[in-house]
Chains A and B, each alone.
Chain A
């Protein structure tokens, strides 16, 4: 069983970190995982994305054309990846940063006002965690608690004061569930 997720957004939105959190949690739970960033001139500002593949067996390609899930943090990411989500897959959209609905009907889409929620929690940098919470609530990948545990174990000690806020953001995001297709 293999699940492919693409996290995409602007540089600075924490998409690479969100992907790493999943990678750590998958590893901690005995699964195979790959995390691969897009790297190139575009990593100097502009768009950023990473692909995370979680599996219970040796992972082949670390990249796929048609991912099981996409977390789109902004409009360019939505435009780029909407058509590529596997049929029956999930598209988690940061609705704060897009001005249109998801048009495909045969995939599960979840619109999450990530920026507003994060700002409501007092830290806009938590947007990625809100979206990650929504992803975990909708895609049968890992329990939210497992991700929280991995965050605690792998986040450097000096950032631990931010843990409660991260948990809160994850749980706020997890309240958003896709409607049945």
Chain B
């Protein structure tokens, strides 16, 4: 008895309008030729041109990209290990502390995480810069990765791995040839999550960064504190489009793969 009443339709229409209208306005006004952002003065792409010549933004984008790639890769490796520990390792001393340390960063206010890491880096005399931001990002995003991967591992059929071991695989090659391909989608989406978290992060990066390592969100932040600017609108549009294309492509690929798998299974049953 699922039916779409007028109430449902109205809720969906207004709900999605609320979610998307601000971004649509932002994108539309990035093509505004006027410097006054709220007054429409005709179509223009000049702000995109200016953006390409803004060295400070380009530098910050490059820093952000490097931090995101390195930190999300570290986070994926550590997070997958942590997920294996959570799901498979059984009992060991300090297990409660371990799972607490995995889940706590997910709900920790960023200001506290940032502050505590900064105090650590100062305490041990580490110079702040790209390296410290990478450490900070890898730490909080490994927790997200381990949550994503451990939920996949929990439903994983261990008999497949046992079969590989029976057939003479070593533990490492059983993991590489059987387990890893099966949990790969979760590991990849964990990496993507860690990557976007790192791209996005303002607060933790502000605390842990040093001179010469300004990330894009920090740059955007100092620009938008002065109000709306057409250049930031253009930059935001670029970022929104990249994410939208990425997410939509990823979901289409997963859908195609699952359709193909279904078709293969059906074919296997028929033969």
Q: Do A and B bind each other?
A: no
